[in-house]
Amino acid sequence: MTRALAAVLFALVGCTPRPGLDGAVPSLDTLGKGLPKGFLWGTATAAHQIEGGNDNDWTDWEAGSFPDGTPHIADGKPSGQACDSWNRFDEDLAAMQAMGVTTYRFSVEWSRLEPTEGAWDAAAMARYRDWTVRLRAAGIEPMVTLHHFTLPKWVAARKGFETTDTQAAFEAFVRRVGAELQDTVDFWCPFNEINVYAAQGYLSGVWPPGTKDDTALQVTVMSNMLKAHAKAAAGLREVDTVDANGDGAATVITHAHHVRVFQPASHSVLDTAIAGLTDDVANEAIPRAFQTGRIRFSVPGTIEIDEAVDGLAGSIDVLSLNYYTRDIIRADLGSAALSQSYFKGGRPRNDLGWDLYPDGLYLMLKRFSSYGWPLYVSENGTADAADDFRSDYLAQHVAAIERAVKEGADVRGYYHWSLMDNFEWAEGYTASFGLYAVDFGNTFARNKRPSVDTFTAIGANIPR
């Protein structure tokens, strides 16, 4: 088939073929119309990645290096002033309003609100409160994350979630925030990506505390965080009794669960089994715990946890998925992870080399639908400094959601990661996930990328 003929055929079915991208890109005339009425449409950020001027466990980590001298952060630059969002909420809000968002996911920084144990910073709390008031006044539903990878130094000094003690400290923090923001916030996310946090900090060791190859500790941390989630959820339900948006629910509690497609490198029994094990620990164990109230992790020969936890069953009202990519898994029984993971060759990739695989979002939404919770896509986006493929990536992922919705999935919202370029953890400022570029360290201007128009056009099509 010639390219011209293909273009005509695709035009007839409302799609345009794009050389270099995998699959057709849906027409923006209709994309979004297949989402349910009232579907939330927004962007996501996290405190340490955008605020600037934080003082937490990452601040120390960013100044350090690995034993071979390589800096902890790819470009050697600390988060520093980041996007200066602590002082530029006006600009963040204006950028969101220009795109017609109806929701914003952001996190509050524990180290700002409780810099030392039991000492609360009223001015910092007032600032977050002001943000939520202004979001609501602008018709933007806030989703507030309470832990997005960082710890106050006093918590890190006590070994963070490696110990069971931190659960009580986290619960106290969450209760405080819940009580203070109860009349402006209904949508709460105690933790972001428990699985990623534990893997990066205790398996690959590329995030604080930098512990490498300790699968038992990795799984223990996940388990302690799930217990902390249960306590946080109970606390929020107790202290937040105001239904801020008048929809009948004073609290909606979720977990932002990082999901990936894990595909075995071959049909061999070993690759298949290890890909299945990886999938179980990373994708299934956490939702299963929220559903059954039992934490069950099984890493043969290393650690088995099977424990009933008070308050864990039913501790989320909706499940949120952070979806980006697919990993290929090859068994490697000599490694702590029991596998090597890599991105499939010959595929479209982003600036970080991640496989661009929109079908994976469809697969994940279908799969996690079976648990019965309403679903949100709490993060999805891509590193694309030149904005070459972000529009198409976005369109294809929204089409994947529409497909899942058409087949019965109850998906209620989408948050693009991210509103603007920001501090991408170990990758520092080398990865650009933003709909807006930021003039870092200079004017901090939020400069609209062309993909903002795609985001806005899709949002305008969503039935209201």
Q: What is the contact surface with ligand IFM in residues (CB under 6 A)?
A: 46, 49, 193, 322, 379, 417, 424, 433
Residue 330 backbone phi and psi in degrees, to 5: -115, 130
CA 127, chain centre distance (Å): 23
DSSP 151: -
Tell the smallest beta-carbon distance from residue 415 to ligand IFM (Å). Answer: 11
Tell the smallest beta-carbon distance from residue 241 to ligand IFM (Å). Answer: 31
**In whole angstroms, what is the distance from residue 120 CA to residue 68 CA?**
39
Joined tokens for residue 380: 């999805």
Q: Indicate the pairing of strand 303-308 with strand 294-299.
A: antiparallel
**Toward ligand IFM, which CB reaches closer, 34 or 434?**
434
**Toward ligand IFM, which CB reaches closer, 187 or 433?**
433
Tell the smallest beta-carbon distance from residue 352 to ligand IFM (Å). Answer: 8
**Toward ligand IFM, which CB reaches closer, 175 or 326?**
326
- Type of residue at 248: G
What kind and span of H or E run contains 135? helix 122-137
Tell the smallest beta-carbon distance from residue 273 to ligand IFM (Å). Answer: 28
Tell the smallest beta-carbon distance from residue 148 to ligand IFM (Å). Answer: 6
Tell the smallest beta-carbon distance from residue 149 to ligand IFM (Å). Answer: 6
The SS3 call for residue 328 is: strand
- Type of residue at 436: Y
**Toward ligand IFM, which CB reaches closer, 251 or 422?**
422
**Toward ligand IFM, which CB reaches closer, 25 or 46?**
46
**Toward ligand IFM, which CB reaches closer, 189 or 274?**
189
**Toward ligand IFM, which CB reaches closer, 146 or 239?**
146
**In whole angstroms, what is the distance from residue 300 CA to residue 339 CA?**
13
The radius of gyration computed from the CA coordinates of the chain, to the nearest angstrom, equals 21
Tell the smallest beta-carbon distance from residue 416 to ligand IFM (Å). Answer: 11
Q: Indicate the pairing of strand 187-191 with strand 15-17.
A: unpaired
**Toward ligand IFM, which CB reaches closer, 1 or 386?**
386
Joined tokens for residue 77: 């630059």
Tell the smallest beta-carbon distance from residue 294 to ligand IFM (Å). Answer: 27
**In whole angstroms, what is the distance from residue 48 CA to residue 45 CA?**
9
Per-position DSSP letters for 204-243, written without gaps between them: S--STT---S-HHHHHHHHHHHHHHHHHHHHHHHHH----
